[in-house]
Amino acid sequence: MPLIAAQKERKDGGYSRLFGDEELGLLLSKVQAAVISSGTELEKLITRTLAAQERLVQDVDYFLQNAVGKRGVFVATKNL
């Protein structure tokens, strides 16, 4: 789980300029970075779980051509 304290410090960020307070800007920047990291961790967890359940679509074109009659939730990830 991403921690706020583990995030990089950005003293030149937009939050500091927006609020005119470097300390507050730093805190808000770290909070935002932690939230984004948490979302990434959740995405990885879901992908691993669905891959283990054979619900992760590897080839979208093939899946769409052959998915007739398949029931359930399937996930296709974006190419990275």
The domain total for the chain is 1
The b-or-e profile of 17-54 (16+ CB within 10 A means b, else e) is eeeeeeeebbebbbebbbeebeeeeeeeeeeeebeeee
Q: Which amino acid is at 30?
A: K
Q: What pLDDT was estimated at residue 1?
A: 67
pLDDT tens digit at each of 80 positions of the chain: 667 677 777 667 788 888 898 888 888 888 888 888 888 888 888 888 888 888 888 888 888 888 877 888 888 887 65
Q: What pLDDT was estimated at residue 69?
A: 79
Domain that holds residue 41: 4-76
